[in-house]
Chain A
Amino acid sequence: QQQVRQSPQSLTVWEGETAILNCSYENSAFDYFPWYQQFPGEGPALLISILSVSDKKEDGRFTIFFNKREKKLSLHIADSQPGDSATYFCAAQLPGTGSNRLTFGKGTKFSLIP
């Protein structure tokens, strides 16, 4: 059973549009949700993250909306730019562990219409 699910698998938008990437999870005990951005040939890099005590986290053009009751979150990319084309991974972590064990989704491949 996949613990973290992402949709859509791929997403293409026009430059300047707002893109919405979705994520849901199974384990209600998860309390920390980072989003990683990965460009081809590179490793994933932390983009933005949220704790389960918050319902929104904003960083520039990137915003996470979090719904604890429904166990869903979404990453909004406002004013999409060509440099945003990448694969985005949603991840989740349990509290109080002595390790950085993240549970990842399969990712959303995001690109802009040329």
Chain B
Amino acid sequence: GPKVLQIPSHQIIDMGQMVTLNCDPVSNHLYFYWYKQILGQQMEFLVNFYNGKVMEKSKLFKDQFSVERPDGSYFTLKIQPTALEDSAVYFCASSLDPRDTLYFGAGTRLSVL
């Protein structure tokens, strides 16, 4: 089936540094999402992105977070600066329509030391 690729699978950084998580969504999809999962907790919606703009974001999407997809390349989540509480698995997802099936990547495990 359709695949969403996330790079890297694991990232370790020091608190205060910047990190960029990369996502290669399904090729013809138009809506892109990030979800965050802290160990042992449920996956939580962060943000969705369409046509170059953030459509909706949750309270977890702090000011230090930003998303973009320049010229149809990777859909990225940037955190600058990082904090200890940003340690989690971040899942990227994409869909063709807003109410269509979400396809998830395998996640990027972010460890902030």
Contacts and interface: CB of A to CB of B under 8 A. Distances in A.
Interface of A: 2, 4, 32, 34, 36, 41-46, 89, 93, 97-107
Contacts of A89: 42-43
Given A43-B91, A46-B101, A97-B98, A102 B45 contact: yes
State the majority secondary structure of interface residues on A.
Answer: loop
Interface string B46-87: 001000000110100000000000000000000000000000
A4 B42 contact: yes
Contacts of A103: 45
B94 to A, nearest CB: 9
B95 interface: yes
Interface of B: 1, 4, 6, 31, 33, 35, 40-45, 48, 55-56, 58, 91, 93, 95, 98-107
A99 B42 contact: no
A35 to B, nearest CB: 12
B43 A43 contact: no
Given A99-B55, A100-B31, A101-B56, A45 B44 contact: no
B88 to A, nearest CB: 14
B56 A99 contact: yes
Nearest to A90: B42
B42 A46 contact: no
Contact of B48 (A41, A44, A101, A107): A101
Contacts of A100: 31, 33, 48, 93, 95, 98-100, 102
Given A43-B4, A104-B42, A106-B40, 8 more contacts: A34-B101, A36-B104, A45-B103, A89-B43, A99-B56, A100-B33, A100-B48, A101-B45
B31 A106 contact: no
Given A100-B102, A106-B40, A107-B42, A43 B48 contact: no
Contacts of A93: 99
A31 to B, nearest CB: 10
Contacts of B4: 43
B106 A41 contact: yes
